[in-house]
Amino acid sequence: AQSVAQPEDQVKVAEGNPLTVKCTYSVSGNPYLFWYVQYPNRGLQFLLKYITGDNLVKGSYGFEAEFNKSQTSFHLKKPSALVSDSALYFCAVRLGGYNKLIFGAGTRLAVHP
Amino acid sequence: GAGVSQSPRYKVAKRGQDVALRCDPISGHVSLFWYQQALGQGPEFLTYFQNEAQLDKSGLPSDRFFAERPEGSVSTLKIQRTQQEDSAVYLCASSYQGEVESAPLHFGNGTRLTVT
């Protein structure tokens, strides 16, 4: 079955430090992978996606993600964290031909001053 | 207002009541999705529409859940005889579908349903 896993419930980093939020996937065929962010009492906002091409994908708000086929991973990264980055982050994989997304359980990112 | 709009924002229902949740997608978006997000969990797929056609309802948890999009724009998710386990945030998302494959989903802020 196609799925995504986010092994960390929570990630804590200090402001200004680099951050990584982990995601691994299990899909048949070429994966279409996404990262979304959710702020309190809000819907999900698209950050970035990997379809094909360069393994390093750049997205919104300075985030980037690295696709690693051999490790079946798609980790989200940012060189320098901001307190305002504190939110819930979801990795997702696309199924089917109409953008149906299957989401991981989410990782709560806490950036402290 | 160019975003996906959902109403009501909050809904409290007594067990056994019927509820209707509304979604106004972004104008021109062909694809519309409903997701259910339980507390502390990721969104779970419920159903998908392409225009007015419901092409996938494999995620609907029971026959008490029903969704429609009669004119290919506004959609309504109806839950009959609500149960406590239906308490969750219901998210609607839309996307442009055409030549742009894997266009990102645009989510509304959701409806938080609490069944007492």
Residue B24 confidence (pLDDT): 97
Q: What is the C-alpha separation between A58 and B6, in angstroms, rounded? A: 30
Query: Chain B: nearest CA to A98, how far in angstroms?
Result: 8
Q: Which pLDDT tens digit goes with each residue over A20-67?
A: 999 999 988 778 899 999 998 888 999 999 988 889 999 999 999 999
- Nearest CB partner across the interface for A100, out of B42, B45, B108: B45
Q: What is the pLDDT of residues A4-19, one digit of tens each?
A: 999 999 999 999 999 9
Is the C-alpha dihedral spanning A56, A110, B7, B61 positive or negative? positive
3-state secondary structure of A98: coil
Q: What's the whole-number average pLDDT of chain B?
A: 92
Among A43, A98, A102, the residue with its CB nearest the CB of B50 is A98
- DSSP states of A40-59: TTS-EEEEEEE-SS-SEEE-
Q: What is the structure's pLDDT at A43?
A: 85
Say yes or no to pLDDT of B102 above 80. no
Q: Which residues in chain A have their CB less than 8 angstroms from residue B93's CB?
A: 43-44
Specify which residues A44 forms β-bridges with: A38
Angle formed at CA A28 by CA A23 and CA A33, multiple of 5 degrees:
35
| Best CA proximity match to B26, nearest among B62, B75, B76 | B75
Q: How confident is the model at residue A96 (pLDDT cuts 50, 70, 90)?
A: low
The whole-angstrom distance between B94's CA and the closest CA on chain A is: 10
pLDDT at res. B99: 43
What tens digit of pLDDT does each residue of B53-91 get? Answer: 999 999 999 999 999 999 999 999 999 999 999 999 999
Mean pLDDT of B25-54: 93
Distance from CA of A2 to the nearest CA of B (A): 14
Q: Residue A68 above 60 pLDDT?
A: yes
> In the prediction, which pLDDT does B37 show?
95
- Whether residue A31 lies within 8 A of chain B, CB to CB, comes out as no
The answer to whether A98 faces chain B, any CB pair under 8 Å, is yes
Rg (CA), chain A: 13
* Whole-number percent of chain B with pLDDT over 90: 84
Residues 6+ apart with CB under 8 A from B75: B22, B23, B25, B32, B34, B49, B67, B68, B69, B92
